[in-house]
Amino acid sequence: NAGVMQNPRHLVRRRGQEARLRCSPMKGHSHVYWYRQLPEEGLKFMVYLQKENIIDESGMPKERFSAEFPKEGPSILRIQQVVRGDSAAYFCASSLSGQGQTQYFGPGTRLLVL
Amino acid sequence: EDKVVQSPLSLVVHEGDTVTLNCSYEVTNFRSLLWYKQEKKAPTFLFMLTSSGIEKKSGRLSSILDKKELFSILNITATQTGDSAIYLCAVNFGNEKLTFGTGTRLTIIP
């Protein structure tokens, strides 16, 4: 039973480029969450999605960041015009149905902006 | 503001020792508290606690929640070098997003 999958595991971008991070939830899970971990800091919630719906994006920066979870395919976290401060580990988690269910995490994507 | 505080920030012990990690929270609403172990990659789920006073146990690890005093502890007995990791505490404040503490970095010396 495959766990949460994320790719790429490492991503290097120059300032001004776009970063696309992908997350495939555990089999049977329809709820996806994105978290960001800055160096020497704890994980911070970014966005919560169900298929084709954004449920809570209160942790997303207002500009340059967007997320989607289409009917088919993985969830995508997109960062446009990256800046050095975007360098971080981005983790995706999934749960069976929300409603307090356990969130299981993927291995993360480490984004480095040069 | 919902807040989760873990202590100590770091801990170094010898193999075979018992350790207790602490997690306290300030609450506006509470649904559950979760413990994760983070090595170099994915935070690995350990326990989810929703009720006070009921100990959850898995091998050498155990955890308990006190909803009156707003804290939880994670115990690890007979520690091994493989227990070296960052232990994360997270609280679901009823809105499905987890609020994490900064973690406790545990180092086990052989």
Could you read off the pLDDT of A47-82 as tens digits, one per residue? 999 998 999 999 999 899 999 999 999 999 999 999
Q: Which residues of chain B have pLDDT under 50?
A: none
CA B97 → CA A9, A55, B35, distances in Å?
23, 10, 15
In chain A, residues with a C-beta closer than 8 Å to the C-beta of B36 are 105
Instruction: Supply the pLDDT for residue B71.
Output: 94
The superfamily in CATH containing domain B3-109 is Immunoglobulins (2.60.40.10)
Q: Using CB atoms and an 8 Å cut-off, which of residues 82-101 of chain A contact chain B?
A: 91, 93, 98-100
In chain A, residues with a C-beta closer than 8 Å to the C-beta of B96 are 31, 33, 48, 55-56, 98-100
B42 and A55 in contact by Cβ < 8 A? no
Average pLDDT, integer, range A96-103: 84
Looking at chain A, how many residues does it have? Answer: 114
In chain B, residues with a C-beta closer than 8 Å to the C-beta of A107 are 41-42
Using CB atoms, pick whichever of A56, A103, A104 lies closest to residue B95: A56
With cut-offs at 50, 70 and 90, classify the pLDDT of residue A44.
Answer: very high
Task: Yes or no: say if B54 and B103 are a contact pair by the CB < 8 Å rule.
Answer: no
B42 and A98 in contact by Cβ < 8 A? no
Instruction: Supply the pLDDT for residue A90.
Output: 97
CA A110 → CA A15, A17, A71, A86, B1, distances in Å?
16, 16, 26, 10, 29
Each residue's pLDDT tens digit, B21-41: 999 999 778 889 999 999 987
With cut-offs at 50, 70 and 90, classify the pLDDT of residue A1.
Answer: low
Tell me if the bond preceding A39 is cis, omega within 30° of 0. no
Instruction: Supply the pLDDT for residue A12.
Output: 98
Q: Using CB atoms and an 8 Å cut-off, which of residues 50-69 of chain A contact chain B?
A: 55-56, 58-59
Spans of all domains in chain B: 3-109
Q: Tell me phi and psi for residue A88, to 5 degrees.
A: -175, 175
Position A42 pLDDT exceeds 70: yes
Mutation site for A-interface testing, chosen from B5, B41, B93, B104 by largest number of A Cβ within 10 Å: B41
In chain B, residues with a C-beta closer than 8 Å to the C-beta of A98 are 96
With cut-offs at 50, 70 and 90, classify the pLDDT of residue A101.
Answer: confident
| Chain A / chain B CB contacts < 8 angstroms | 58
Q: CA–CA separation, A7 vs A58, rounded Å?
A: 24
Interchain CB contact of A12 with B (< 8 Å)? no
CA distance B29 to chain A (A): 13
Instruction: Supply the pLDDT for residue A67.
Output: 97
B100 and A100 in contact by Cβ < 8 A? no
